[in-house]
């Protein structure tokens, strides 16, 4: 086990964001690449589409820098092990948990110093219409009914919330898409406050204690991001931007957001 950081703050959950576009700068790109392990380098090289390559590099450099901000290793020294469904964790264990997501040019990395399971998902807000097209396959009957009752202007917003929250939840569980998304429901308890999803309902066979999860969504730079954490392990969500992600681990913007279930 790595030594634990004696100054860890278990009351804050950390969300780091990085833009793949920053790696159009060759120096930044080289700095990021120098942090990757051999395996990561090999995976990075296998991407044929340049945008996907850049996004992968931004995400994995961001992860390493973010972990080093709270842990005791330099970015290039982190090693990872994955569970049976592919969820990575630091190897050996050091009390830090994380989850990574990248989509449409933004990479996000959620870090908990409280040993709590976490999940994160990011989608460009512009993808709401694409999500709407496949909603019937992934949303539960309860969610569909709630969607049908929403006024049209609120619907796209709800699609984004549901999609990202479901992904963040299955990622927090570490089980990926082996969990049936249509048996997991994020619901609003108060129809007068339509945008606010306050309750998670899951078949007992899939999750005997869904109340242990706290969750929220937020908008950042044109993206919807969902965050799910176990046991309300953190009271605050600290959102940071790392630009460029690997040249320096110092974030240029810090926003302390009231964490759970903010109104939009
Ligand atoms: C995990 C999963 C939900 C990712 O969804 P996605 O929307 O494509 O990707 P995201 O950008 O949000 O997240 C990707 C990151 O999540 C992490 N991840 C991978 N598997 C994960 C899992 N089971 N749970 C949580 N996080 C996982 C990785 O860090 C990954 O980053 P990388 O691909 O750059 O290494 C999806 O790929 C999945 O369900 N995988 C499960 C596969 C499985 O069950 N395999 C069984 C063994 S064959």
Q: Are residues 171 and 45 in the same domain?
A: no
Asked if residue 222 is part of any domain, the answer here is no
Asked if residue 223 is part of any domain, the answer here is no
Any ligand 1 atom below 6 A from CB of 46: no
Asked if residue 143 is part of any domain, the answer here is yes
pLDDT by 10s per residue, the chain, length 264: 566 666 677 778 899 999 999 999 899 999 999 999 999 999 999 999 999 999 999 999 999 999 999 988 999 999 999 999 999 999 999 999 999 999 999 999 999 998 899 999 999 999 999 999 998 889 999 999 999 999 888 899 999 999 999 999 999 999 988 899 999 999 987 655 555 677 899 999 999 999 999 998 999 999 999 999 998 666 788 888 887 644 454 443 344 343 343 443
What DSSP string describes 170-228?
HHHHT-GGGS-GGGEEEE-S-GGGTT---EEEE-TTT-S-GGGEEEEEEEETTEEEEEE
Structural domain boundaries enclosing 250: 12-121+231-258
Furthest C-alpha separation in the chain:
53
DSSP letter assigned to residue 100: E
Any ligand 1 atom below 6 A from CB of 174: yes
Q: Which atom of ligand 1 is nearest to the CA of 171?
A: 25
Asked if residue 208 is part of any domain, the answer here is yes
- DSSP β-ladder status, 12-19 and 236-241: parallel
Q: Are residues 108 and 238 in the same domain?
A: yes
Ligand 1 centroid – CA 174 distance (Å)? 8
Q: Are residues 101 and 139 in the same domain?
A: no
Ligand 1 centroid – CA 152 distance (Å)? 32
Residue nearest to atom 44 of ligand 1 (CA): 85
Asked if residue 217 is part of any domain, the answer here is no
CB–CB of 61/74 below 8 Å?
Answer: no
Q: Find the CATH number of the domain harbouring 180.
A: 3.90.470
For the chain, the domain total comes to: 2
Q: Identify which of 27, 24, 120 has the alpha carbon closest to the alpha carbon of residue 66.
A: 120
Q: Are residues 174 and 254 in the same domain?
A: no
Q: Are residues 100 and 116 in the same domain?
A: yes
Any ligand 1 atom below 6 A from CB of 170: yes
DSSP letter assigned to residue 223: E
Ligand 1 centroid – CA 6 distance (Å)? 31
Q: Identify which of 117, 102, 87, 120 has the alpha carbon closest to the alpha carbon of residue 216.
A: 120
Q: Are residues 244 and 207 in the same domain?
A: no
Any ligand 1 atom below 6 A from CB of 104: no
Q: Find the CATH number of the domain harbouring 103.
A: 3.90.470.20
Any ligand 1 atom below 6 A from CB of 86: yes
Tell me how far CA of residue 47 lies from CA of 40, 54, 59, 142, in angstroms: 11, 9, 14, 39
Asked if residue 55 is part of any domain, the answer here is yes
Chain-centre distance for alpha carbon 140:
22
Residue nearest to atom 21 of ligand 1 (CA): 87
């Amino acid at each position: 086990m790595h030594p634990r950081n004696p100054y860890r703050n278990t009351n804050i959950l950390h969300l780091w964001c990085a833009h793949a576009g920053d790696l159009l700068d060759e120096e930044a790109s080289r700095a990021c690449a120098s942090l990757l392990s051999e395996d990561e380098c090999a995976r990075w090289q296998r991407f044929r589409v340049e945008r996907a390559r850049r996004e992968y590099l931004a995400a994995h450099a961001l992860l390493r820098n973010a972990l080093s901000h709270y842990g005791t290793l330099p970015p290039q020294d982190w090693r990872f092990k994955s569970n049976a469904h592919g969820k990575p964790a630091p190897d050996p264990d050091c009390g830090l948990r994380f989850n990574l997501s990248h989509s449409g040019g933004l990479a996000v990395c959620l870090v908990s110093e409280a040993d709590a399971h976490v999940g994160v998902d990011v989608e460009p807000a512009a993808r709401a219409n694409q999500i709407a097209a496949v909603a019937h396959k992934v949303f539960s009957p309860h969610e569909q009914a709630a969607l049908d009752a929403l006024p049209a202007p609120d619907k796209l917003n709800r699609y984004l919330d549901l999609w990202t929250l479901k992904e963040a939840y299955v990622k927090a569980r570490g089980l990926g898409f082996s969990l049936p998304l249509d048996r997991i429901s994020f619901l609003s308890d108060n129809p007068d406050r339509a945008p606010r999803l306050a309750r998670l309902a899951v078949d007992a066979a899939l999750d005997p204690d869904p109340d242990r999860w706290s969750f929220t969504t937020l908008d950042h730079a044109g993206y919807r991001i969902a965050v799910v954490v176990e046991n309300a392990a953190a009271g605050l969500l600290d959102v940071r931007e790392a630009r460029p992600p690997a040249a320096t681990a110092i974030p240029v913007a810090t926003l302390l957001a009231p964490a759970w279930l903010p109104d939009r």
